[in-house]
């Protein structure tokens, strides 16, 4: 495969001998004389590496570098400069250049730089591939053993890390990983079916942290210690997405990441209300009936999150003023960012950010977004791009200068639904695709966690409902009527509500500004 080089230099004509030398070595070189042309070409065609003159008229090298990284953050860029000033190099390195060279450069120097950067990428991929293949059998054995909930967290963490490390690797190897991921979720579904109900029993001595435990175990200790605490719930954030967000936050924060299991269904009305109330859905309905009105419009179930949080704090003996904000769009996010220091006047401020969940639903309805993010790695990258340019990241940067503790988590994740399973129910059955409640529902037991007695699972029974269905693995429910129409409509969408590792095993991170340490 030919290595494609883009070389931007306002004195490119003087570099003609270098370009000829590179072309004779088998490289394909595209020369341009300014940063604007370089940015335009990167948007139009693929390149393997960029050589960029630091001093160009108009848009200089550093400005061009920033534009390039916005368009394609992983593209290797080598800065070429006449200056040896430390400040310039620090600024370039801070913008994630792959290397820099001091003029004058010679052709062999260029070749060695190309090989070092591009071969490093190849060697890195080969190293990850070899390591994954060496561990393949060990992972498979752990998947099929009688794994505990702690072990399933470890399995999920390891598979997620491989998924990120191998995302630019060979397609055949990625398929092996995808098959192993699928097998893991199959066994995880069986594990949840067998063990989940026991976790809901107060006498269970060993169970994972669940949605109901988050505030009590991860938020209240900081408040009791007199620390200003900010609690962020990023709706529908998966662990792999958090890892990319964390990469951006590591510079400013010391980060400890733990894990918990979302309650079922892994859907906002259930899981997020459980977080804020510290109660299971059936308990919320019994204790605070005015704050729980379950109906077809599920969004109405999350109107009282602040009230539920306040009542949980009061039950725990904490009667202090709190602030709560739900951010649904960019304008609301900017308002919070502009006033973030005002939220430090109370012991606890809580924020719900809905963008990732909105992106999930938008992708389902948009052919354009499906093209932009056709698979998990691309969707993961899209959420990272959002975070880099979001008011949420702006808020974190501002808080890095304060003496605060930040707790970040999600209410549930999402799974890429690729397989359908038929469900039978009456006209009053709920419409969700990964879980359903209704009267006498039935579905394939291999693909579905069937809950015959909702009360045993701390779930309410709205209307005439008497059972719940929870989809396992990557299945989504389709009725036999108009089967093919809905099968094709909902296939390859990111959904939540079911029992998969991606939806249930969630990160909960504690961030402390490094200036506090």
DSSP assignment letter at 505? E
User: How crowded is the C-beta side of 299, counted as CA atoms within 13 Å?
Assistant: 5
pLDDT of residue 298: 52
Q: Which carries the bigger pLDDT value, residue 453 or residue 488? A: 453
**What is the rounded CA–CA span in Å between residue 61 and residue 150?**
49
R_g of the chain, CA atoms, integer Å: 26
The mean pLDDT of 163-168, rounded to a whole number, is 86
Q: Does residue 88 have a pLDDT over 60? A: no
79, 88 Cβ separation under 8 angstroms: no
For the residues 23-40, what does the mean pLDDT come to?
94
- CB contact at 8 A, 443 and 476: no
Classify residue 279: in a domain, yes or no.
yes
Rounded to an integer, what distance in angstroms lies between the CA atom of residue 396 and that of residue 59?
A: 30
Give exposure, 373-404, as e/b (b: 16+ Cβ within 10 Å). beebbebbbbbbebbeebbbbbbbeebbebeb
* Statement to judge: residues 185 and 277 lie in one domain: no
Closest CA to 284 of 265, 305, 266, 264: 305
pLDDT tens track for 10-21:
999 999 999 999
- Between 204 and 495, residue with greater pLDDT: 495
Q: What is the pTM of this model?
A: 0.79
In this structure, is residue 118 part of a structural domain? no
| Rounded-to-integer distance, Cα 95 and Cα 127, Å | 26
Nearest Cα residue to 516 out of 318, 244, 229: 229
Same domain flag for 401 and 424:
no
Question: Does residue 230 sit in the same domain as residue 276?
Answer: yes
Residue 424 near residue 450, CB atoms below 8 Å: no
- For the chain, the 3-state helix, strand and coil shares in percent, each to the nearest 5, are 50, 20, 30
**In the numeric block, which tokens belong to residue 171?**
């397609």
Q: What is the mean pLDDT of residues 95-107?
A: 83
User: What is the C-alpha separation between 135 and 282, in angstroms, rounded?
Assistant: 43
State the pLDDT confidence band at 316, using cuts at 50, 70 and 90.
very high
**Which candidate, 488, 468, 469, 487, places its Cα nearest to that of 479?**
487
pLDDT digits (tens, 9 = 90+) for 230-258: 999 999 999 999 999 999 999 899 999 99
Q: What is the mean pLDDT of residues 91-97?
A: 62
Whether residues 320 and 357 fall in one domain:
yes
- Highest average pLDDT, of 91-100, 123-132, 362-371, 382-391, comes from 382-391
Give the residue-averaged pLDDT of 453-466.
Answer: 90
Q: Rounded CA gap, 200 and 185, in Å?
A: 22
Mean pLDDT, residues 250-273:
95
- Integer Cα distance of 286 and 396 in angstroms: 38
Domain match, 235 and 312 both: yes
Average pLDDT of every residue of the chain: 90
Contact between 118 and 3 under an 8 Å Cβ cutoff? The reply is: yes
Give the residue-averaged pLDDT of 214-235: 96
Residue 472 predicted with pLDDT over 80: yes
**What beta strand segments (E) does 363-495 contain?**
405-409, 415-417, 419-424, 435-438, 442-443, 448-451, 467-471, 475-478, 493-495
Structure confidence at residue 83 (pLDDT): 66
Angle at CA of residue 397, ends 223 and 231, nearest 5°? 30
Return the half-sphere exposure (C-beta side, CA atoms, 13 A cut-off) of residue 401. 6
Q: pLDDT class for 295, splitting at 50, 70, 90?
A: very low
Could you tell me which of 356, 354, 242, 344 has the C-alpha nearest to residue 305? 354
CA distance 56 to 66: 14
509 occurs within a structural domain: yes
Read off φ and ψ for residue 285, nearest 5 degrees: -60, -40
Q: Is residue 204 part of a domain?
A: no
Percent of the chain at pLDDT exceeding 70: 95
Please state the domain count of the chain: 4
Residue 362 to residue 93: CA distance in whole angstroms:
36
Stretch 398-404: mean pLDDT: 94
Q: What is the pLDDT of residue 206?
A: 86
pLDDT of 21 reads 94
Q: Is residue 190 domain-shared with residue 298, that is, in the same domain?
A: no
Q: Is residue 94 part of a domain?
A: yes
Strand partners, 79: 52, 100
Q: pLDDT tens digit string along 375-392?
A: 898 889 889 988 998 999
In sequence order, which residues have a C-beta less than 8 Å from that of residue 120 and are 6 or more positions away?
none
Which residue has tokens 């389902």? Answer: 364
- Cβ–Cβ under 8 Å, residues 470 and 435: yes
Task: Measure the CA–CA gap between 398 and 382, rounded to whole angstroms.
Answer: 23
Distance CA 111, CA 100 (A): 13
Mention every residue, 6+ apart, whose C-beta is less than 8 A from residue 288.
277, 304, 307, 308, 311
Q: Are residues 387 and 511 in the same domain?
A: yes
Residues 27 and 166 grouped into a single domain: no
Is the pLDDT reported for residue 188 higher than 90? yes
CB 365 within 8 A of CB 479: no
The CA distances from residue 407 to 104, 132, 223, 275, in Å, are: 50, 32, 12, 13
The predicted pLDDT at position 296 comes to 45
Does 222 fall in a domain? yes
Residues in contact with 109: Cβ distance below 8 Å, sequence separation at least 6, in sequence order = 101
Q: Which contiguous run of DSSP H or E holds residue 367?
A: helix 367-372
Average pLDDT over residues 18-32: 94
pLDDT band at 201 (very low <50, low <70, confident <90, very high): confident
CATH number assigned to the domain comprising residue 50 = 3.40.50.2300
Regarding whether 378 and 348 lie in a shared domain, the answer is yes
- Cα–Cα nearest to 349, from 329, 328, 327, 334: 327
Q: What does the block give as tokens for 78?
A: 């080598």
- Per-residue pLDDT, averaged over 118-132, amounts to 79
Assess whether pLDDT exceeds 80 at residue 192: yes
Query: Does 236 lie in the same domain as 385?
Result: yes
Band of pLDDT at residue 85, cut at 50, 70 and 90: low
Tokens 């340490």 locate to 517
Integer CA distances (angstroms), 232 to 214, 229, 378, 408, in order? 12, 10, 25, 5
Residue 84: pLDDT over 70:
no
**Do residue 334 and residue 437 come from a single domain?**
no
Is residue 117 a part of any domain in this protein? no
Domain that holds residue 194: 128-199
Q: Is the pLDDT of residue 179 over 60?
A: yes
Structural domain includes residue 262: yes
Residues 32 and 76 both lie in one domain: yes
Domain end (from 141, 164, 199): 199
Structure tokens belonging to residue 52: 């960029």
């Amino acid at each position: 495969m030919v290595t494609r080089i883009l070389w931007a230099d306002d004195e490119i004509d003087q570099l003609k001998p270098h370009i000829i030398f590179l072309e004779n070595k088998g490289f394909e070189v595209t020369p341009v004389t300014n940063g604007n042309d370089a940015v335009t070409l990167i948007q139009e065609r693929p390149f393997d590496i960029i050589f960029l003159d630091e001093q160009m008229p108009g848009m200089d090298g550093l400005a061009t570098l920033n534009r390039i990284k916005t368009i394609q953050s992983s593209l290797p860029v080598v800065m070429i400069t006449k200056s040896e000033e430390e400040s310039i190099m620090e600024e370039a390195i801070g913008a994630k250049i792959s290397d820099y060279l001091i003029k004058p450069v010679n052709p062999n120097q260029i070749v060695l730089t190309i090989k070092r950067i591009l071969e490093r990428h190849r060697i890195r991929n080969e190293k990850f591939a070899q390591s994954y293949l060496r561990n393949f059998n060990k992972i498979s054995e752990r998947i099929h053993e009688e794994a505990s909930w702690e072990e399933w967290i470890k399995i999920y963490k390891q598979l997620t890390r491989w998924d990120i490390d191998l995302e630019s690797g060979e397609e055949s190897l990625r398929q092996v990983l995808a098959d192993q991921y699928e097998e893991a979720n199959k066994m995880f579904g069986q594990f949840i079916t067998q063990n989940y109900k026991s976790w809901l029993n107060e006498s269970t001595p060993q169970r994972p942290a669940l949605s109901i435990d988050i505030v009590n175990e991860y938020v209240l200790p900081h408040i009791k210690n007199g620390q200003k605490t900010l609690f962020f719930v990023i709706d529908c954030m998966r662990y792999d997405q958090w890892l990319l967000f964390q990469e951006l936050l590591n510079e400013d924060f010391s980060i400890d990441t733990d894990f918990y299991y979302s309650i079922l269904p892994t859907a906002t009305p259930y899981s997020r209300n459980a977080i804020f109330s510290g109660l299971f859905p059936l308990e919320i309905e019994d204790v605070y009936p005015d704050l729980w009105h379950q109906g077809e419009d599920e969004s109405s179930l999350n109107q009282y999150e602040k009230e539920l949080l306040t009542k949980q704090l009061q039950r725990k003996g904490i009667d202090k003023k709190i602030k709560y904000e739900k951010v649904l769009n960019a304008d609301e996010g900017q308002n919070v960012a502009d006033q973030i220091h005002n939220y430090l006047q109370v012991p606890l401020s809580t924020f719900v950010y809905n963008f990732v969940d909105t992106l999930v639903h938008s992708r389902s309805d948009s052919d354009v977004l499906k093209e932009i993010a056709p698979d998990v790695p691309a969707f993961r990258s899209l959420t990272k791009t959002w975070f880099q340019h979001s008011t949420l990241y702006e808020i974190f940067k501002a808080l890095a200068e304060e003496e605060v503790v930040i707790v970040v988590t999600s209410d549930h994740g999402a799974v890429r639904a690729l397989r359908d399973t038929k469900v039978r129910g009456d006209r009053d059955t709920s419409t969700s695709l990964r879980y359903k409640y209704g009267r006498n529902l039935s579905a394939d037991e291999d693909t579905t966690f069937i809950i015959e007695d909702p009360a045993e699972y701390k779930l309410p029974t709205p209307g005439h409902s008497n059972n719940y269905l929870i989809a396992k693995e990557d299945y989504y429910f389709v009725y036999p009527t108009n089967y093919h129409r809905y099968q094709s409509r909902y296939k390859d969408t990111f959904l939540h509500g079911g029992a998969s590792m991606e939806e249930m095993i969630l990160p909960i991170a504690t961030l402390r500004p490094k200036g506090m340490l």
